Amino acid sequence: MSFAFSDAVLFKNAYGSEVEFSGEANSAELRLLRCSNLEVALELAREGLPVSRETHCVGCVNYMRALAEELGLSLEVELREGGCVMKVRK
């Protein structure tokens, strides 16, 4: 699906994350094996900024879910060490 694929390209090329993508006509899966956005947030937390993995990831997931819903899609997210798995369905 183009939504998940464009997100994969964005996370990889704009942010430098390590991603895997798989999909078919009605569903797709984006695996962030290493999320560069998360790495930066955790580095800022070590420097004293009041941010945690949970608050960072909730913000990202809520944003992605809102975009998916705007397109009539559903988004399920499973947090993993170093990243997450996003499953998009029609």
Determine how many CB atoms are found less than 10 A away from the CB of residue 1.
21
Asked whether the CA dihedral 61, 64, 70, 71 is positive or negative, the reply is: negative
- Report the pLDDT value the prediction gives residue 25, as an integer from 0 to 100: 84
Half-sphere exposure of 64 (CA within 13 A, CB side): 24
pTM of the model: 0.87
Per-residue pLDDT of the chain (90 residues; tens, 9 = 90+): 789 889 999 999 999 999 999 998 899 999 999 999 999 999 999 999 999 999 999 999 999 999 999 999 999 999 999 999 999 999
Rounded CA-CA distance 85/52 in Å is: 19
- Report the pLDDT value the prediction gives residue 1, as an integer from 0 to 100: 74
Cross-strand pairs, 83: 80
- Report the pLDDT value the prediction gives residue 53, as an integer from 0 to 100: 92
Question: Domains of the chain: which residue ranges?
Answer: 2-89
